[in-house]
Chain A
Amino acid sequence: VNGKSGPTPSQEERNLLARARAGDAGAFDALAERYGEGLLRVAYALVGERAGAEDVVQETLMAAFSGLPGFRGESSVRTWLVSILTRQAARYNRREARRRHKPIADAEGLRDAAAGNRQDVRIDLAAALRGLEETYRQVIVLREIEGLSYDEIARVLGVPRGTVESRLYRAREALRERLGGYYD
């Protein structure tokens, strides 16, 4: 997510939060604008398609707007938003899996991002990511794309740090198995 921040909200974020809580929608918009694109990128990696990513980010921002009174500022705004987004993305994926009666393993959107062999790698990479169990995909995305520390991931997912570590290892092993031809 753009606008990396510390473990708790900065003074500027606190001001924006206070104004947003007081009903200043413009203040919340400023926060949404600051983190929106980064959230979109994470959502895209978690759900694998653009329209779904947009929906997930919108639902995340709406949920955050509604949940403003309950945000106690014990984590950064970024971590708080990513926590909401991760849950929204998981919900979206479950809904889509039920709708399609199968896991989604598409690589839409990455096809036009590269050419030749590089394109094949990206398609396979996206498909491999989509093929991971939700819990494994979450840790990989939060670590590799969002760049969160193990402690931050643990906070976002509400699991012990050791679980983050083991899930990351297993997720990487699964990706390596699927993409071994490229990276071994």
Chain B
Amino acid sequence: LRYGEMSEEKREPGCGFGGRISAFFDGETPASERREIEAHLAECAECAARLAAIRGISAALKSAYSPPVTEEFSDGLKVAYAMRRSDGILSLAERLTAAAAVVLAAAMIYIAADSQRRPLQGRYEPSIAAITAQMSDPASAEAPDEELLAKYILADLSTEGLE
């Protein structure tokens, strides 16, 4: 697009220089076009009035919004920002804590479920085998260890109960 050409809606009415006057005021017109616009301004009362109005409105806007922000205003902003950021950090910490709690709970559930599964998968079987081996050992057959015997009975019962 050339400077001053409208890219939205329909082209401007009148002499067609309106957009270029606006850009001219802002110093956004290329040097090659400035002389043409200056010549137009000398001839077109409408654009001269437009430029004067743009200048007046621009000065009024700068004046209305340029006074420095009061100390109270900026202090309030700093405090509010600091508090908001603290809240953000806190909520991040809270989210992390909650996430950690979920992971921990999931891990506990998994472990509990796993420990219930393991008896079926033979956690007791090696013990039974060991106990049987020990009990069938001639060296210990005469005086079977009471603790081992109790374990054997319990293991046998639990296997039966689960079947």
Residues of A bordering B, CB below 8 Å? 25, 32-33, 36-37, 40-41, 44-45, 50, 54, 57-58, 61-62, 65, 110, 113, 121-122, 125-126, 129, 140, 143-145, 149-150, 160-163, 165-170, 172-173, 175-176, 179-180, 182-184
Contact = CB atoms under 8 A, between A and B. Distances in A.
A40 B74 contact: yes
Given A161-B1, A170-B8, 16 more contacts: A25-B85, A32-B81, A33-B78, A40-B69, A40-B77, A54-B73, A65-B88, A145-B65, A150-B23, A165-B19, A166-B6, A169-B6, A172-B22, A179-B60, A184-B52, A184-B53
A129 B61 contact: yes
B110 interface: no
A121 B3 CA distance: 32
B91 to A, nearest CB: 11
Contact of B26 (A113, A122, A129, A168): A168
A176 B21 CA distance: 14
A113 B67 contact: yes
Contacts of A160: 1, 7
Contacts of A113: 64, 67
A58 B74 CA distance: 11
Contacts of A36: 74, 77-78, 81
A176 B77 contact: no
Interface of B: 1, 3-9, 12, 18-19, 21-23, 26, 28, 49-50, 52-54, 56-58, 60-62, 64-69, 73-74, 76-78, 80-81, 84-85, 88
Contacts of A176: 50, 53-54, 57
Contacts of B4: 165
A110 B64 contact: yes
A100 to B, nearest CB: 23
Contacts of A41: 65-66, 69
A144 B62 contact: yes
B64 A125 contact: yes
A50 B53 CA distance: 28
Nearest to A42: B65
A169 B22 contact: yes
Nearest to A168: B22
6 contacts: A36-B78, A37-B68, A54-B76, A54-B80, A122-B60, A143-B26
A173 B18 contact: yes
A149 B28 contact: yes
A54 B76 CA distance: 9
Contacts of B78: 33, 36
A61 B81 contact: yes
Contact of A58 (B58, B60, B81): B81
Given A45-B65, A161-B1, A65 B50 contact: no
B40 to A, nearest CB: 15
A59 B66 CA distance: 22
A122 B57 CA distance: 11
